[in-house]
């Protein structure tokens, strides 16, 4: 926990010194110069435990901790045609320790797989024509860790209805990944060889959404996605133990089609209470189907302080390629003992506290918001986790 708040405090001090030298433009003039619009720092600490580790064939410790810091900067300028250009830079760094990853080598007391660091920067650019109600946006991203490299790109277009009460958005995304083929030690042909091979995994996604303001209190949104994955979709260090106790690498098909469909609805009850709801249905050609229902109720205590309790229920069926420890046989073409693909239900609940005083945090006007959120997650298959996050906004 100390790492979270020490990081946040350091950036907080840096931004405060910047705020003292950057005057705030209170006029309505649309400057054509590039200006700092918003900075967000999000730090979080995540911990989990369970007894269904995929690395050891569906049994064993799932203890894991993760410390994450995400730094997000948005810059804005207007061009000669009064179009708003927003440029975004986001840099995230996660560091985790995992008991299950440490068991890639069953004989080692502690291996290099016990901990890893993931770095994931991204760039975004949007062009908004406020008069026409259209927005064109582009994005690039990457993610790097020891056994995984990902590069992504996206493009989206949004247009509002004539009365500006509705908005349609279409988005295309792609992720081109390389998976390092790190096998369990007992399945390696040469245990002294650390020159691992790699395999490609590609994801292509199309998204459509439509949001509509029904009236001043009620807003809804419809969402639909189509996701196609191709390539190496297994994880090479996931073991599968057959009925005869023989150990194998996880083996899954090289293609997967996912279809999520969602619905959001927000209802404003007076000026101090909002009910936010969300539902999603998911299906894929691996036989997995799921339902997600989510509700959050932000309660405004006064003009600058609010709390937001939330609850999410999730349920899914098992993928047709999943079976528990020592259940698969040699007759199975595909096999997997990862409980993320098993049948289970889960609950996620907690609350957020948001503090946004008119004169800024601790009297520093540019620091417009501080939010702390805590959530507890539990599956009905002996797995639970906790997450706490801190968000500081400079505006």
Q: What percent of the chain has pLDDT over 70?
A: 89
Residue scoring higher pLDDT (182 or 170)? 170
- The predicted structure's pLDDT at residue 32: 77
Residue 30 falls inside a structural domain: no
In a domain, 377, yes or no: yes
Overall domain count for the chain: 1
Decide if pLDDT at 18 tops 50.
Answer: no
Question: Average pLDDT in the 139-157 region?
Answer: 96
Please, which pLDDT band fits residue 24 given cuts at 50, 70 and 90?
A: very low
Four-point Cα dihedral 267, 270, 274, 275, nearest 10: -50
Determine the pLDDT at residue 105: 74
Q: Tell me what pLDDT residue 192 has.
A: 55
Give mean pLDDT, residues 143-156. 96
- Whole-number percent of the chain with pLDDT over 90: 77
Q: What CATH code is carried by the domain that includes residue 322?
A: 2.40.160
Residue 3: pLDDT above 50? Answer: no
- 299 pLDDT higher than 80: yes
* pLDDT score recorded for residue 104: 81
Structural domain includes residue 28: no
> Is residue 27 in a domain?
no
Predicted pLDDT at 191:
54
Q: What is the mean pLDDT of the chain?
A: 90
What is the rounded CA–CA span in Å between residue 313 and residue 295? 9
Q: Average of pLDDT values for 173-191?
A: 88
- 99 confidence band (pLDDT: 50, 70, 90): confident
User: Is the pLDDT reported for residue 111 higher than 70?
Assistant: no
Instruction: Report d(CA 78, CA 30) in Å as an integer.
Output: 6
**Residue span of the structural domain in which 202 resides:** 2-21+35-394
pLDDT score recorded for residue 310 = 98
Q: Is residue 163 part of a domain?
A: yes
The reply to whether 167 falls in a domain is: yes
Is residue 246 assigned to a domain? yes
Q: 103: which 2 tokens?
A: 């068991």
Bridge partner list, 277: 265, 295
Per the model's pLDDT, the better-predicted residue between 24 and 346 turns out to be 346
Q: Is residue 316 part of a domain?
A: yes
Does 112 have pLDDT greater than 50? no
């Amino acid at each position: 926990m100390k790492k979270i708040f020490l990081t946040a405090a350091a950036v907080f001090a840096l931004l405060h010194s910047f705020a003292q030298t950057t005057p705030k433009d209170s006029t309505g003039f649309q400057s054509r110069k590039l200006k700092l619009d918003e900075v967000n720092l999000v730090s979080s600490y995540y911990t989990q435990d369970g007894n269904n580790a995929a690395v050891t064939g569906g049994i064993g410790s799932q203890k894991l901790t993760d410390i994450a810091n995400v730094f997000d900067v948005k810059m804005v300028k207007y061009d000669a045609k009064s179009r708003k250009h927003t440029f975004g830079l986001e840099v995230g760094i996660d560091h985790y320790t995992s008991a299950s990853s440490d068991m890639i080598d069953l004989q080692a007391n502690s291996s290099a797989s016990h901990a890893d660091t993931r770095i994931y920067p991204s760039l975004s650019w949007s062009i908004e024509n406020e008069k026409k109600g259209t927005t064109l946006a582009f994005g690039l991203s990457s993610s790097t860790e020891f056994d995984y490299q990902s590069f992504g790109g996206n493009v989206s277009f949004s247009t509002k209805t004539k009365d500006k009460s509705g908005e349609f958005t279409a988005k295309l995304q792609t992720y081109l990944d390389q998976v390092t083929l790190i096998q369990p030690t007992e399945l390696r042909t040469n245990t002294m060889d650390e020159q691992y091979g790699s395999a490609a995994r590609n994801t292509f996604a199309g998204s459509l959404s439509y949001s509509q303001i029904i009236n001043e209190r009620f807003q809804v949104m419809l969402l639909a996605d189509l996701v196609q994955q191709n390539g190496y979709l297994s994880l090479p260090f996931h073991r599968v133990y057959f009925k005869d106790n023989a150990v194998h690498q996880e083996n899954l098909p090289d293609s997967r089609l996912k279809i999520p469909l969602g619905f959001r609805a927000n209802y404003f009850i007076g000026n101090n209470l909002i009910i936010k709801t969300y539902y999603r249905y998911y299906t894929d050609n691996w036989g997995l189907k799921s339902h997600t229902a989510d509700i959050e109720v932000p309660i405004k205590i006064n003009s600058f302080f609010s709390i937001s309790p939330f609850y999410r229920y999730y349920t899914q069926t098992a993928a047709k390629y999943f079976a528990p420890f020592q259940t698969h046989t040699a007759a199975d073409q595909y096999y997997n003992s990862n409980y993320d693909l098993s049948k289970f239900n889960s609950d996620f609940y907690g609350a957020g506290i948001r503090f946004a005083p008119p004169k800024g945090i601790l009297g520093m006007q540019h620091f417009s918001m501080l939010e702390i959120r805590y959530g507890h997650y539990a599956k009905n298959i002996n797995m639970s986790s906790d997450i706490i996050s801190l968000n500081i906004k400079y505006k």
